[in-house]
């Protein structure tokens, strides 16, 4: 216990009150989203939407994310990171509350993804700028590890609780609960200062960072991240449901994965700061690749449960190492805000055609073949993560 206590003392959330408040807000939002977020594709599947249309729901999110980002830059420059995060909450509340009525009001199918896109854009932009500015460069890995650790511990019971409540009372009640909890996430935002978004952001500066040669390897790793997460968020939950047949069981398995991931992130943060970040990215990405390929051959409930737990643990390690590299690069470049917005734009630019491809495949392939092919695509996408190691901030500093 003394070793754990001494290790915890070095984590930033015991020393940086601004980052503390940011962690609490993020944890509350993730708890509310974890109650229902992973179940949204299953919910749409349950109420009768075909696979291609479920994918279309997420395609709308990506397309409108691009539209919102590119059309709101003149407004964003006048706002602070704190205001952006606060403004994201009402859109997310409306999204979860509206999901209750999507089966009764068909137009909501097209409106809700737009609301969710607005929420993601506002929160992600504000959060990344705030965290990049407030975090300690020398303890960046520890602070990112702390973020994932706190989020995992807080959200640990959420998937199981969400699955249990859905099984007992239906989706509608859980959507309402998530919407109510989101209001609480605003409170910690009052406890840290606001930072204005950089005034030099423009469409030109954002596009320049997409094509900037010195960070091209990290851009390609971002392409892998954007594609892999879509399979994990949309396809994998439905596959688990077809095998397990119980939302409550899925929630319990995800909660176990969160516990394992919390333990891993606790350790990986220290390794990242000890100069082992690149090894963490390589080995955790390779393990994630093997997990995706293994899903081609195992379809028993026990195998699915095991790969979910191990897969989430591996990706938790990968996320800490990769995110640490993300923030190191962001703080090295001349315009932090432009770089962050370029990454958000990149993810949606990749996801839109990728989801469109999945829509086409879902129409022409048998369900089992479709699942298998998407797992292969996820594995191949994950192979791009180690490219992030080819960017060295010491070289970037000399370039600018």
Could you list the pLDDT tens digit for every one of the 400 residues in the chain? Answer: 333 334 334 444 444 555 566 667 777 777 777 777 778 898 899 888 999 999 999 999 999 999 999 998 888 878 787 788 888 888 988 898 888 889 889 999 999 999 999 999 998 888 777 766 555 555 555 566 556 666 666 666 666 677 777 777 777 777 777 777 777 777 777 766 676 676 678 888 899 999 999 999 999 999 999 999 999 999 999 998 888 877 767 777 777 776 676 666 666 655 554 457 788 889 889 999 999 999 998 778 888 888 888 888 888 888 888 888 888 888 888 888 889 899 999 999 999 999 999 999 999 999 999 999 999 999 999 999 999 999 887 777 666 6
How many domains are contained in the chain? 1
pLDDT, position 100: 84
pLDDT, position 10: 41
pTM for the model: 0.84
From residue 237, give the alpha-carbon distance in Å to each of 25, 72, 245, 288, 377. 26, 33, 11, 17, 16
In a domain, 1, yes or no: no
pLDDT, position 1: 37
Burial (CB count <10 Å: 0-12, 13-18, 19+), residue 220 = middle
In a domain, 2, yes or no: no
From residue 306, give the alpha-carbon distance in Å to each of 131, 212, 253, 300. 33, 40, 8, 10
Contact between 257 and 314 (Cβ < 8 Å): no
In a domain, 4, yes or no: no
In a domain, 68, yes or no: yes
In a domain, 267, yes or no: yes
In a domain, 135, yes or no: yes
Residue numbers of the domain that contains 310: 10-192+199-399
Alpha-carbon gap, residue 327 to 144, rounded angstroms:
9
pLDDT, position 327: 83
In a domain, 3, yes or no: no
CATH number of the domain encompassing residue 164: 1.20.1250.20
In a domain, 5, yes or no: no
């Amino acid at each position: 216990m003394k070793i754990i206590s001494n290790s915890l003392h070095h984590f930033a959330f015991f020393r940086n009150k601004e980052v503390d408040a940011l962690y609490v807000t993020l944890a509350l939002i993730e708890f509310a989203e974890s109650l229902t977020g992973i179940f949204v594709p299953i919910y749409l599947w349950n109420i009768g939407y075909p696979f291609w249309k479920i994918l279309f729901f997420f395609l709308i999110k990506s397309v409108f994310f691009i539209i919102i980002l590119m059309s709101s830059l003149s407004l964003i420059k006048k706002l602070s990171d704190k205001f952006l995060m606060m403004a994201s909450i009402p859109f997310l509340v409306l999204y979860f509350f509206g999901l209750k009525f999507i089966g009764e009001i068909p137009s909501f199918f097209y409106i809700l993804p737009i609301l969710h896109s607005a929420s993601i854009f506002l929160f992600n932009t504000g959060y990344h700028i705030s965290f990049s500015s407030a975090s300690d460069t020398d303890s960046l890995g520890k602070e990112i590890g702390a973020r994932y650790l706190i989020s995992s511990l807080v959200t640990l019971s959420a998937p199981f609780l969400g699955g249990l409540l859905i099984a007992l009372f239906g989706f509608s009640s859980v959507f309402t609960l998530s919407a109510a909890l989101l209001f609480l996430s605003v409170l910690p935002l009052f406890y840290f200062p606001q930072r204005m978004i950089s005034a030099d952001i423009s469409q030109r500066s954002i596009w320049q960072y997409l094509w900037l040669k010195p960070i091209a390897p990290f851009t390609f790793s971002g392409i892998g991240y954007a594609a892999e997460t879509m399979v994990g968020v949309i396809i994998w939950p439905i596959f688990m449901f077809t095998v397990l047949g119980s939302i409550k069981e899925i929630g319990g398995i995800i909660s176990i994965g969160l516990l394992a991931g919390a333990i891993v992130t606790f350790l990986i943060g220290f390794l990242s700061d000890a100069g082992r970040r690149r090894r963490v990215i390589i080995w955790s990405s390779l393990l994630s690749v093997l997990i995706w390929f293994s899903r081609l051959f195992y379809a028993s409930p026990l195998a699915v449960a095991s790969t979910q737990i191990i897969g989430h643990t591996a990706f938790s390690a990968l996320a800490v190492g990769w995110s640490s590299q993300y923030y190191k690069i962001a703080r090295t470049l001349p315009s932090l805000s432009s770089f962050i917005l370029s990454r958000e734009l990149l993810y949606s630019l990749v996801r839109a055609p990728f989801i469109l491809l999945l829509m086409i495949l879902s129409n022409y392939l048998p369900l089992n073949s479709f699942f298998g092919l998407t797992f292969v695509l996820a594995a191949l996408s994950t192979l791009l993560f180690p490219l992030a190691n080819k960017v060295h901030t010491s070289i970037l500093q000399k370039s600018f």
